[in-house]
A = this chain, B = another copy of it.
Amino acid sequence: MPPLADYRMRVRYYETDQMGIVHHSNYVRWMEEARIHALNEAGVSLRSMEAEGIQIPVTAVSCEYRKSARFDDAVRIEICPVRYNGVRMELAYRILREETGELLAECRSSHCFLDTRTGHPAGLKRRAPKYHRILEELFSNNDDKDG
């Protein structure tokens, strides 16, 4: 199973603030863009899961900012699977300036799976076995990046 796909984007003008750098809240949005892209590439489509009645809310998020991203910077986001147990999922992110390879931020996000109709936790093993198998394999290969 290949690792999760990198996500590439270019900093948009409206993401800057009056310090002349990207406003820190946008990194949380970039994490979402990167996560949805990478899971989709691996065969886990958020659009399809939602159509099947499963939501994936964020239960926790953290970012450590190292260097500032600036308007028009090409940015690359690496995602590592950290933990998945059928009802919860955790991912780690490294946000890099493409041109120089500089580390801009290190981030984490935690998620659960909910049944849209009831609002209760949805165990993917029974509720969506196809996605469960993909996620189990994706997350089994992580070499303890969490340690």
- Which residues does A use to contact B, with CB under 8 Å? 12-14, 16-21, 23-26, 28-29, 32-33, 36, 46-47, 50, 55, 57-65, 68, 71-72
Contact = CB atoms under 8 A, between A and B. Distances in A.
Nearest to A15: B17
Nearest to A36: B13
Given A14-B23, A61-B65, 13 more contacts: A12-B29, A12-B36, A13-B32, A14-B17, A14-B25, A17-B17, A18-B20, A19-B57, A25-B26, A46-B71, A57-B68, A61-B62, A62-B63
16 contacts: A12-B29, A12-B32, A12-B36, A13-B18, A13-B46, A14-B17, A16-B18, A19-B55, A19-B57, A24-B61, A25-B25, A25-B26, A28-B28, A36-B72, A57-B65, A59-B64
